[in-house]
Chain A
Amino acid sequence: MNFNISASPHLRDDLSISKIMYAVILTLIPAGAWSVYIFGLKALWLILIAILSAIATEWICQKLMRRPITLYDGSAILTGLLLAYNLPPCVPLWIPAVGAFVGIFIGKQIFGGLGYNPMNPALIGRAFLMASWPVHMTVFKTIPNGEQSLSGIDCITGATPLTVFKEMREILINRADFLPEQVTQANETMFQLNRSYWKLFFGNTGGCIGEVSAFLILLGASYLLYRRIIGWKIPLSYIGTVAILTTLFGGTNGLFTGNALFHILSGGLFLGAFYMATDMVTTPVTFYGRLLFGFGCGVLTVIIRLWGGYPEGVSYSILLMNLTTPLLDRYTKPKVFGS
C-alpha cells in the first residue's frame, strides 16, 4: 500500500480565495440591482461591460505573460464590478471598458497579478478615467422629481448631494462675497441637505452606480462581517474618523457644527469603507495597521471633501493609503507572545 506524504497540518479550512471573491461579489449584487432599478438598464450594461473587460484583460495579460490563467478565482470579476460601481450612470459605454482594462493591466497584472498589486485595481481604473475624461466622470444623473426611473428618459443630469454641499458651503463660509439672496438660498439648500438622511440611506439621490444606497451596501457588508470575510477595523476607524472630523470641521458656523450623518451616508463612503478599503491585498495585516489605515483614509477623505478640489475624496484617500500599507505593517508588527 502506498501512502500519501505531506507536511502537517492535514486539515484545511474550507475557505479559499475564490470563495472569498464570490462572497464579496454576491453581497454587492443588491446595491447593483437597486442601481439598475433607479438609473435604468444603462447601469446594467455598464456593469456587464466593466466585468467583461476586466475578464478579457486578465485573460490576455496572463496569456501574453505565460502565467497560469486564474480567471476562476473571481478577482477580475470583482475588480470589474467595483469599477462599474464607481462610475456615474451617464458615462458612455466605452468608459467602463477602458477603466477595467487599465485597472487590471496597469493596476494589477503588471505587478504580477493577484496578491502583488500595491493599489486597489478598481480605484486605479477610476483614477485613470477621472484624470482622462473628467467631464464624463463628473456628470451625474438624478431622479426626476423623486420619480423612479425606467421612464424612457435617457439621462437627466444634476449634481450629487456632495457637490451641492460643497458649493453651498463655499457660499456660506464666504458670505461677504455673495449676494444676500444667494446666501439665503444656500442656507435653505443646506437645511434640506441636512434633512435628506432617509433619501441618502435608501438611495434616492444622484451618485455613482454602486454607492447610492447606503442601506444595501450596509446589508451586504454586514453579511461579510458576519462571515468574517472582511474585518471591522478598517470600516470602523474609517467611518468613525470621517464622522468625528466632519462634526468638527464640516459646519459653516465654526467648530462642532458639522453634520456627520450627512457625510457618512453620502457619496462613496460606505462602498469605499466596506468594499475597497477592506481589499485584502492592498491593506495592512496587523491590528493597529488596519486601524491606522482606516484613520488615514478618513483624514484624507475629509480633507478632500471639505478643502480639496473634488466634492468626493473616498477613492483617492484609499489609493494614497494603499501606498502606506508596507510601512504600516512594518511599524505595527504585533508583539510576539511572551516578549
Chain B
Amino acid sequence: MRSKTFRGGIHPSEFKHLTEHKIIEKACIPERVIVPLQQHIGAPTECIIEKDTHVKAGQPLSKAIKLISVPVHASISGLVKSIEFHPNPLGTKSLAVTIEHDGSDDSTFTEQDPDINNMDPDILLKKIKTAGIAGMGGASFPTHVKLTPPSDKKINTLLINGVECEPFLTADHRLMLEKSDEILKGIHILTRILRVRHTIIGIEKNKPDAIQLMQKKTKRLKKISVIPLPVKYPQGGEKQLIQAALNRQVPSGGLPMDVECVVQNVGTVFAVYEAIYFNKPLIERVVTVTGPGITEPKNILARIGTPFKDLIEFCGGYTPTASKILNGGPMMGIAQVTDDVPVVKGTSGILVLDQLSSKIPEESTCISCARCVDICPMKLMPNRIASYIEHNRIEDAEKYGLLDCIECGSCTYICPAKRHLVHYIKFGKMLYNERRVSS
C-alpha cells in the first residue's frame, strides 16, 4: 500500500515525553483574565460591554458584525475592570477586556439534551458561531465559515486533524485520549452540518494509544476511519494532511473545499461538542505548558484570557535557566516579550526554552546544499526566494512561489548554514503586501 504521507518534511526531536502521559489538569480560576476582542482571523468584533459591569462566565463581550468573525465571551465570572490595549500573544497589542474574578463560578450555560439527528443544521451552525468557535489548531479561522462552503463547492470528506506535529505539544493528544466520546459526538454534529458521507481522523504514529483508542471506538462506525500517519513535520499542515490522507492537492492559492473536503482540529471538534451539548461558548481550552524552562510541565485546561504567567506558576514556575517564552510550538510559535499575555483561542501550548535551546545561531552564506529544496513541503526553493528578498527583488520572489509558503519553518530548521530563511520569507510577504496596497 502507498505510504500515506506528503513529499518533503523534516524529523525534529519530539520532546513530547515531557507531557504526553500527563492527564489534563484543570487550572484554578485566575484572579484576572484579559480577553482580546479579536482572537480569530477575519473581521474585528464590536465590543458590547461597558466598564464596571458584572459579567458571568460565558456571557458575550462582543458581537460579530461581519460574516468572517466570531464573538468573544467572558471566561470567568467577575467585574469588567478595563477595556484597553493590552499585549496579545501574537506579538502585537490589541483591544482587550480585563475581568477581575468575583470568587464565584457563575455561568450562563447549562447542559442540554440535543437531538442532533432531528436538529436543523442551520441552528447547529448558528450555535457554533455564537459560541465563538475559531480553529484551535493555531490559525484561528472562524469555524462556522469553514462549515458553510459556497453552494458550488461540494464537500465529500471531513478530515479531523489529530496530527499535532509540532514538537513538545500534547494538548490534542491528551484530548483524544480523555475525551474520545465527546470528540466523536462533535464529529457527528459536523457531519450533520456538512452532510458528508465520510470522515477521516488523521493521527501521527507517535500517538499509538490515541490511534488505538480511536480505532476501537470507531470500529462499528463505517463512516469514520482512523488513519495513522508517519511522524513527520509539518504533517498537521492542512494541505499536507489532505495530501497524505486523501491524496488530493489543494490548488495554489486555494482552500480545502476546492478539493471537496473540510479540515477541523480535534480541539475545535471538542469545542463544537460543548457548544451544542452545553450551550457553552469557547471559554476554555487545553494548553500544554512545557519546555526545559518549566519546572513541572503539564497539560492544562485553562480559561481563555488567563495570563501566561499564571499557568507557568501553576506548573511550578520557571527553571533558573528559562530564557524564551513561546505561544505555540517551537517550529511556528511566536516569541513573547512578556509573560503577561493571555491565552487565546489559538494557544495550543506555552513553551519555555532555556538559554541553551534558545540560542540564535549565527547565519553564514548559503552553500546551496539543497536541503531546503529537498524538504520543502510546498515544493518551493526557499534558498532562492530568501536571496531574492535579501536583494529586494520581491517580484522575482513572488514568481518563485513566495505566497505559497506556509511558513512551517522546515527550511530554516534544516539549513546547515543556519540561514533565517522563513524570516526572510515572512518579511518578503510583508513587503509584497505593502507594495500591493500602495500601488
Q: Give chain A's interface residues, CB within 8 Å of chain B.
A: 1, 3-13, 15-17, 19-20, 70, 73, 112-116, 231, 280-281, 283-287, 290, 329, 333-339
Q: B65 within 8 Å of A by Cβ?
A: no
B330 touching A9 by the CB < 8 A rule?
Answer: yes
CB atoms of B252 and A285 under 8 A apart = no
A3-B325, A20-B369, A113-B365 known; A338 vs B254 contact (CB < 8 Å):
yes
* Docked-complex contact A114 and B365, CB < 8 angstroms: yes
Whether B333 pairs with A10 at a CB distance below 8 angstroms is yes
A115 close to B330 (CB less than 8 A): no
Is B326 interfacial (CB 8 A cutoff)?
yes
Given A8-B422, A10-B330, A13-B414, A336 contacting B379 (CB threshold 8 A): yes
B387-412 interface bits toward A, Cβ cutoff 8 Å, 1 = contact, 0 = none: 00000000000001100100101101
> Residue among A9, A231, A290, A334 with the most chain B CB within 10 A?
A9
Q: Which residues of B contact A333 (CB under 8 A)?
A: 381, 400
Q: Which residues of A contact B365 (CB under 8 A)?
A: 112-116
17 additional A-B pairs beyond A10-B335, A115-B364, A338-B251, beta carbons within 8 Å, are A5-B324, A7-B335, A8-B326, A8-B335, A8-B412, A10-B333, A10-B351, A13-B415, A73-B364, A115-B417, A280-B368, A284-B370, A286-B370, A334-B379, A334-B381, A337-B243, A338-B250
**A339 — which chain B residues lie within 8 A by C-beta?**
251-252, 401, 404
Query: CA–CA, A286 to B381, complex, Å?
Result: 8
Chain B residues lying within 8 Å of A334, measured Cβ to Cβ, are 373, 379-381
Contacts of B338 in A (CB 8 A): 3
In the complex, which residues of chain B have a beta carbon less than 8 angstroms from the beta carbon of A10?
324, 326, 330-331, 333, 335, 351, 353, 357-358
Question: Is A335 in contact with B417, judged by CB distance below 8 angstroms?
Answer: no
The answer, yes or no, to whether B420 is at the interface (CB within 8 Å) is yes
Q: How far is the CB of A78 from chain B (nearest CB, A)?
A: 12
B366 within 8 A of A: yes
Task: Tell whether, in the assembled complex, residue A12 and residue B331 are in contact, meaning their CB atoms are under 8 Å apart.
Answer: no
Q: Is the CB of B416 within 8 A of A337?
A: no
Instruction: Give chain B residues whose Cβ lies under 8 Å from the Cβ of A4.
Output: 323-324, 335, 353, 358, 360
Q: Does B367 contact A (CB under 8 A)?
A: yes
Residues in chain B near residue A329, CB distance under 8 A: 381, 384
Query: What residues of B have a CB within 8 angstroms of the CB of A287 in the complex?
Result: 374
Given contacts A17-B364, A19-B416, contact A6 B335 (CB under 8 A): yes
Task: Please name all residues of chain B whose beta carbon is closer than 8 Å to the beta carbon of A3 when the two chains form the complex.
Answer: 323-325, 335-339
Cβ 8 A contact of B404, one of A6, A12, A113, A337? A337
CB-defined contacts of B415 to chain A, threshold 8 Å: 12-13
Q: In the bound complex, how far is the Cα of B251 from the Cα of A271, in angstroms?
A: 43
Q: Contact: A337 with B239, CB < 8 Å?
A: yes
Asked whether, in the complex, the Cβ of A336 is within 8 Å of the Cβ of B401, the reply is yes
Beta-carbon nearest neighbor of B366 in chain A = A115
| A337 contacts B252, C-beta separation under 8 Å | yes
B252 pairs with A12, CB closer than 8 A: no
Contact B367 A114 (CB under 8 A): yes
Q: Is the beta-carbon distance between B323 and A338 smaller than 8 angstroms?
A: no
Chain A residue numbers with a CB within 8 Å of B215 are none
Question: Is residue B196 within 8 Å, beta carbon to beta carbon, of the partner chain?
Answer: no
Least distance between A109 CB and chain B CB atoms (Å): 13
Q: Which residue on A lies nearest to B411, using beta carbons?
A: A9
Residues of B within 8 A of A20 (CB): 367, 369, 416
Q: Considering the chains assembled together, what is the distance between the CA atoms of A286 and B423 in angstroms? A: 22
What residues on A are CB-neighbors of B383 within 8 Å?
285
Contact B318 A1 (CB under 8 A): yes
Chain A residue numbers with a CB within 8 Å of B326 are: 8, 10
A residues in contact with B315, CB < 8 Å: none
Q: Does B43 contact A (CB under 8 A)?
A: no
Instruction: Give the CA-CA distance A284 to B374 in the complex, in Å.
Output: 12
Once the chains are docked, how many angstroms separate the CA of A338 from the CA of B7? 12
* Alpha-carbon separation in the docked complex, A336 to B397 (Å): 13
Question: Which residues from B are CB-within-8-Å of A338?
Answer: 239, 249-254, 378, 404
Give complex CA distance A119, B211 in Å: 51
Is B332 at the interface (CB under 8 A from chain A)? yes
Closest beta carbon of chain A to B129's beta carbon, Å: 29
B331, closest chain A residue (CB): A9
Counting from the closest, the 6 A-B pairs by CB-CB distance are A9-B409, A115-B365, A285-B370, A7-B423, A11-B330, A280-B369
Interface residues of B in 222-267 (CB under 8 A from A): 239, 243, 249-254
